[in-house]
Amino acid sequence: MEWSDIKIFLAVARASTLGGAARSLRLSHPTIGRRLRSLEEATGQTLFQRSADGFVLTDEGAAVLSLAEQMEESALTMERRLAGKEGKLEGLLRISSADWFGGYVLPPVVAAYRAAYPDVLVELLTGTRLFSLSHREADLVFRIVPFAEPDIVQRRLVTMRYGVYMRRDRVDPVIGDGSGFQLITMDASLGSFPDTAWLVDRFPNASVGLRSNSRHVQAHLCEEGLGLAVLPRPVGDRLAGLRRLELPDDPPEREIWMGYHRDLRRLGRLRAFVDMVVSILAR
């Protein structure tokens, strides 16, 4: 039994569908199905029950799940520790962040890094999904909350300032009122955001007209004149169609945290990027 087969088994167990497993492993749907059938034939056991809701572990599959997870952890630990001893400034560096941070804050860092280390391929993954450092889904992660996972080396990178923005040619709303205006806020399904509560408090008579899980999308909706939005200053200040409102107080600031797995702390290409991002963003 090969480790690659165990990865297929775990991916299907976690995604409950062949399509979800294929996306997580970056393989094709038919490949996942074929490899799973081969694994079941090799073991002589039916590991999953096929149902209308997807793939559900059978008793036989559930019995070996924890063993498969132990194999995965051992393999990942070996991979991280071997990678962490690699001093060459070449290869792949996978970075994860929110879309706005990747689109408006990191580009000058990546440009300087690529100029200094052209043999390193930088892969920038953006979105709301939290990529796993222990599973090496990413080598370096930037986010607005501290890391609670074990074995993560983290540091508070910068304090990010926010502002309230509106389309440049629109008349200012009345502070403490907001009648006739709409608000563009974060998607409530992602949890509570202090800037949303702050915005509603400052303009209590404005209606929430639009929500999005992307600050980048919010910025462009705002630029179209669809409402007021709280945006990170590097986003709002860069868009020519927006202007920042002068208010008695500013929206709540957020801390940007940077983290990587401790097994990679000696990985040359990672260390070089960390040093560069601290040098550039600290200014």
3-class secondary structure, 163: strand
Sign of the Cα pseudo-torsion (162, 236, 143, 98, in order): positive
Q: What is the Cα–Cα distance from 10 to 149, expressed in whole angstroms?
A: 21
Query: For 127-167, what is each residue's pLDDT tens digit?
Result: 888 788 887 889 999 999 999 888 999 999 999 999 999 99
Domains and CATH numbers, the chain: 3-83 (1.10.10.10), 91-158+255-282 (3.40.190.10), 162-252 (3.40.190.10)
CA separation for the pair 134, 152 (Å, rounded): 8
Contact 259, 151 (CB under 8 A): no
Quote the pLDDT of residue 266: 83
pLDDT tens, residue order, the chain (283 aa): 677 888 888 889 988 898 888 888 888 988 888 888 888 888 888 999 888 778 988 988 888 888 888 777 777 777 656 654 555 678 899 999 999 999 999 999 999 999 999 999 999 999 888 788 887 889 999 999 999 888 999 999 999 999 999 999 999 999 999 999 999 999 877 677 899 999 999 999 999 999 999 999 999 999 999 999 999 999 999 999 999 999 999 999 999 999 999 888 888 899 999 999 999 987 6
Please give the Cα distance from 152 to 95 (Å, whole number).
15
Per-residue confidence (pLDDT) for residue 132, from 0 to 100: 82
- Condensed to tens digits (0 to 9), the pLDDT of residues 45-77 reads 899 988 877 898 898 888 888 888 877 777 777
Q: Where are the beta strands (DSSP E) in 127-206?
A: 140-143, 152-160, 162-167, 182-186
Q: How far is 2 from 143, CA to CA, in rounded Å?
A: 35
Question: How far is C-alpha 88 from the geometric centre of its chain's CA atoms?
Answer: 27
Residue 226 phi/psi, 5-degree rounding, is -90, 0
